[in-house]
Amino acid sequence: MRYILISLVISALCNCNYANAHLLTDTIPPPPEEPALLSGSEYACVGETTEYTCDLPLGCESVWYIDGDYYSTGFGVIEITWTEAGEFLLELEIHCDTIVINGGSLIVYVSDVPESPSSIQGDNEVCAGSTSYYYTQVGAGESCEWKVDGIIQISDSSSMSYFWTEPGEHTIEVRAVNDCGLSDPTILIVEVFEMPVVDLGEDIEIYEGGSALLDAGNPGCSYLWSTGETTQTIIVTEAGNYEVTVTNPCGSASDDINVDVIVGIHQIVDDDIAIDIVDNHMYIESGTGVIKEIKIFNLNYKIINEYNVSNRYYLPDKGLYIVKVIFDNDSFLIRKVIK
C-alpha cells in the first residue's frame, strides 16, 4: 500500500514565535486500486472444471458468488466444476479491509452432452441399386454424425441420402453433436433386397404316406402358395401342381412344380420280382414269393386293371403305370413301370 507523507512546516511566516521549525507527519491509507475485470470462459460443459481469475490489489481478497449464493473466498483464482446445464451468473467482490468493491460479473452458459436424436425417418426395406433419404431431429445448435454399418458419412445435418448396393441387413445410426461431445446413437435397421429369383427345382415323386419339402428361397420376402400358405417352405403329401409367388420391395417372381405320389410300400418282401413289357402286355415273375393278385393303377391311383394269378397282364396305352404285386402272405410291393 502506498502511503502519503504529509509534512507541515510551521515557520515564522505564520507570525508564531517558535524557535525552530517543527515537522509533523501522519499516514492516510489510499483507496484500493481499481481491480481488473474477472476473466474466464463464458462456455462450459457439465462435468468440466473451469478456472476464473482476477487481478487483486495487494492486501485484498476475492469473494465469489454463483447466482447470488456464496461460492468461495480466494486470492484471485477459483476453479468451478459444473454439475448441471443452464445459465449461471458468476459475480466477484473485492474486499480491502472494510471497503467492498464490485469486481464485475460474467454469465456462464453450461451445456451437457446432447440427447439422442429423434427416431430416424426413412425406408427400412429398399432395393439394391436405389437411393434412400433419411431424416432426424436434434437440439438447437447441434449437428449430426451419421454412420452406415459403422462408416461415418459426409452429411453433418439432420438429413442424409444413401445409395444401397449390397443386399442384406444394414445398420444406420445417428448421434447429436455439440461442443460437449456426442449423444448416444439412434438406430435404424435397413433390409436391402434384390429382385427375387424363384426356382422350386425339377418335378418330383413321393411315396404314399411320405412328404416333400418345397422351398421358395429368398429369405425375408413374402410368399403366397397355390395352397394358400404364406411361409417360405411348405410340406406336401399329395399329388398336384404347386405354385408360389415371392414378393419383396423390388417386385414379384413365381415358379411351380409338379408332385407325383406313388403308392408307398407298406410291407416289402425279401423276394424281388422281374417285370418285362412286350407290346401291350406286361410279364411278371417272382423269385420265391407266390403271387396272388396284380393291380394296375394310373398316377392318380385310379385302378385300371385287376388280375388274379397270372404272369401276363394287359397295358392299354403308352404311359406311366403303378403296379401293385400282392403275395399269398398278403405282403406286397409297388413298382412303377413305363410302357
Q: What is the DSSP string of 142-165?
A: -EEEEEETTEEPS--SSEEEEE--
Q: Looking at residues 250-270, what average pLDDT do you find?
A: 72
Q: Are strands 251-262 and 240-248 parallel, antiparallel or unpaired?
A: antiparallel
Q: What is the mean pLDDT of residues 245-274?
A: 75
Angle at 251 (CA atoms; ends 248, 254), nearest 5 degrees: 90
pLDDT digits (tens, 9 = 90+) for 316-334: 777 778 888 888 887 777 7
**Extents of the domains making up the chain:** 125-193, 204-262, 273-338
- Per-residue pLDDT, averaged over 219-248, amounts to 93
CB 214 within 8 A of CB 257: yes
32: three-class secondary structure by DSSP: coil
Averaged pLDDT for residues 82-87: 94
pLDDT over 90 percentage in the chain: 50
Mean predicted confidence (pLDDT) in 254-283 = 71
Asked whether the predicted pLDDT for residue 36 surpasses 60, the reply is no
Q: In this predicted structure, what is the pLDDT of residue 144?
A: 97
* Measured distance CA(164)–CA(128) in Å, rounded: 5
Q: In what order do the strands lie in the sheet with 251-262?
A: 204-207, 251-262, 240-248, 222-225
| Residue 101, pLDDT above cutoff 50 | yes
**pLDDT band at residue 265 using 50, 70 and 90 as cut-offs:** very low
Of the listed ranges 50-54, 123-127, 277-281, the one predicted with least confidence: 277-281
Q: Per-residue confidence at 211, pLDDT binned at 50, 70, 90? A: confident
Which pLDDT value is given to residue 30? 52
What pLDDT shows up at residue 279? 78
| pLDDT higher than threshold 80 for residue 79 | yes
Average pLDDT, stretch 175-203? 94
Domain 204-262 -> CATH class: mainly beta
- Average per-residue pLDDT for the chain: 83
Sign of the alpha-carbon torsion through 141, 147, 152, 157:
negative
d(CA 293, CA 149): 70
For domain 125-193, give the CATH number.
Answer: 2.60.40.10
pLDDT of residue 81: 95
Q: What is the model's pLDDT at position 281?
A: 80
DSSP 50-101: EEEE-PPPTT-EEEEEETTEEEEEESSEEEEE--S-EEEEEEEEEEETTEEE
CA atoms of 30 and 95, how far apart (whole Å)? 14
Of 98 and 333, the structure prediction assigns the larger pLDDT to 98
C-alpha cell at 308: 388274379
pLDDT of res. 318: 77
CATH number listed for the domain at residues 273-338: 2.60.40
pLDDT given at position 86: 93
Fold agreement between 204-262 and 273-338: yes
Task: Tell whether the model's pLDDT for residue 59 goes beyond 90.
Answer: no
Q: How confident is the model at residue 276 (pLDDT cuts 50, 70, 90)?
A: confident
